[in-house]
Chain A
Amino acid sequence: MNKDNFISVVKDNQNLIFKICNSYCSNYEDRKDLQQDILIQLWNSFSKFDGRVKISTWIYRIALNTAISFYRKDRKRKEKTVGIDASVISLPDYEPGFEQDERISLLYKYLERLNEMDKALILLVLEDKSYRDMAEILGISETNVATKISRIKKRIKEEFKH
């Protein structure tokens, strides 16, 4: 894949990358590093895309796998893979205090408290992915997805009741 195609794919999916980074890292520096890791993994993987799964499923897998692995790295040993000092995907006019819906702020705070896998599932639910897509991205059965979602609905109702 050439760089122009790659940039166009990143552009089409920048919202997704931004939201995943925000969900897995609470501070700006970590988010920036994670964003770079995701971009490099995407670049590294794109030449191997064979169309067996949808491109969006492919991107979700790479982004979530990178985010979870990044999140689990020992912070002391966390090393930069790329020497970029600025964010590639950013909110230039709003950073660092991008004003957002209060519900979104609460949602991000809620996501922070979840374990890595539940976080991935809730992100996919919020993204309105089908059960089949969620099952394919996460690697669990559709029945399992359905069970988890019904539990999530209850938990969210409880969490956001006020």
Chain B
Amino acid sequence: MEINELKDAWAQYDKKLSKVLKLNEELLRSVNLEKSTFALKKPMILELLNMVIQFCVINVIIALLIQLSGETQYFITGLIGSLMCAVSFVFSAVKASRFYDLLYYDLSVMHFQKKMTNLRILILRLRKIEYLIAVIIGITLLPLIVKAKAGVDLFGDLTVFIPAVFGVVGLGLIFGVILNLKVYDKSIKDAESFLNMIEKFGNEE
């Protein structure tokens, strides 16, 4: 069969569809389209929310550091914790701005899909780092909070604190490696192969 025959068949099919397709106007009118549009922006909103949370955490750390001023070990852990929060804040800002730039109407199919896939790869790569950051934030903030709120000095008995830290880090690393191999690496590979396919599609002359 030649392409023109298929085009004719497709045109006949289109005519037939024009006769039988029904648009449920009532249903479309009843849908809150603004609310649905908001739902489409959920990934960007989540990143903005994460920025707010990180900002609040940094402020809490600063307040705790003021409360525990003069204690070097808490100053160092607090500093590390707030630096990690700041890094996480920047990551979320980068992702939110990239989501904001992702306009379905502005770019051709190939350019949009490239942009979308590059963003997906970036998110997956950042997630790997964010996971590590979350573990570090947890470890650095725990002694600070326990000291400020319960008055217990976790640095007082390092024979308990250090093995506990190693335990948490060890478990975190094992879980992280599994997560990377089973989820993130696989998804990155899949996205990269789609990206290659798009590149090839665009470069063939």
The chain A residues found within 8 Å of chain B, CB to CB, are: 3, 6-7, 10-11, 14-15, 18-19, 36-37, 39-41, 43-45, 48-49, 58, 61-62, 64-66, 68-69, 72, 74, 81-82, 84, 86-94, 98, 100-101, 103-104, 107, 115-118, 120, 125-128, 136-141, 143-144, 147-148, 152-153, 156-157, 160-161
Additional A-B contact list (18), CB under 8 Å, known A61-B112, A72-B194: A7-B25, A14-B21, A40-B36, A43-B37, A45-B105, A61-B107, A61-B108, A65-B113, A74-B187, A81-B39, A89-B21, A98-B20, A100-B16, A101-B9, A117-B109, A126-B7, A138-B110, A139-B202
- Asked whether A3 lies within 8 Å of B23 as measured between CB atoms, the reply is no
Evaluate contact between B109 and A65: CB separation under 8 angstroms. yes
Pairwise interchain contact A68-B31, C-beta atoms closer than 8 A: no
A144 surroundings in chain B (CB, below 8 A): 202, 204-205
Q: How many residues of B contact A (CB 8 A)?
A: 50
Query: Do A90 and B22 contact each other (CB < 8 Å), given the known contacts A39-B28, A140-B110?
Result: yes
Q: How far is the CB of B190 from chain A (nearest CB, A)?
A: 9
Q: Across the interface, which residues of B come within 8 angstroms of A101, CB to CB?
A: 9, 12-13
**From A16, which residue of chain B is reached at the shortest CB distance?**
B14
Q: Is B160 an interface residue (CB 8 A)?
A: no
- Residues of B close to A64: CB separation below 8 A: 109
Q: Is there a chain A Cβ closer than 8 Å to B150's Cβ?
A: no
CB contacts under 8 Å to A, within B127-162, are none
Produce 1/0 per residue, B94-114, CB < 8 A to A: 000000000111111111110
Asked if B2 is at the interface of the complex by the 8 Å CB criterion, the answer is: yes
Instruction: Evaluate contact between B108 and A89: CB separation under 8 angstroms.
Output: no
Query: Is the Cβ of B3 less than 8 Å from the Cβ of A153?
Result: yes
Q: Which of B1, B25, B205 contacts A157 (CB 8 A)?
A: B1
Q: List 23 A-B contacts (CB under 8 A).
A: A7-B29, A10-B23, A10-B28, A15-B17, A19-B14, A37-B40, A39-B28, A41-B40, A44-B37, A45-B103, A62-B105, A65-B107, A65-B112, A81-B36, A91-B22, A117-B109, A117-B198, A127-B10, A136-B108, A144-B205, A157-B2, A157-B3, A161-B1
A92 to B9, CA, bound (A): 22
Residues of B within 8 A of A37 (CB): 40
Residues of B within 8 A of A88 (CB): 23-24, 27-28
Residue B197, interface by CB 8 Å:
yes
Is B116 an interface position by the 8 A CB rule?
Answer: yes
Contacts of A141 in B (CB 8 A): 205
In the assembled complex, the Cα of A141 lies from the Cα of B16 at a distance in Å of 33
Q: Is B33 an interface residue, CB under 8 A from the partner?
A: yes
Q: Name which of B22, B28, B111, B187 has the most chain A CB atoms within 10 A of its CB.
A: B28
Chain B, residue nearest A89 (CB): B23
CA distance A148 to B3 in the complex (A): 13
Contacts of A157 in B (CB 8 A): 1-3
Contact B9 A61 (CB under 8 A): no
Check A89 against B24 for contact (C-beta < 8 Å).
yes
Let me know if B31 and A82 touch, CB within 8 A.
Answer: yes
Q: How far is the CA of A22 from the CA of B118 in the complex (A)?
A: 27
- Complex: how many Å from CA A39 to CA B36? 10
Partner of A92, one of B22, B111, B112: B22
8 A-B pairs closest in CB distance: A139-B108, A160-B1, A139-B110, A45-B105, A126-B10, A103-B9, A82-B36, A117-B201
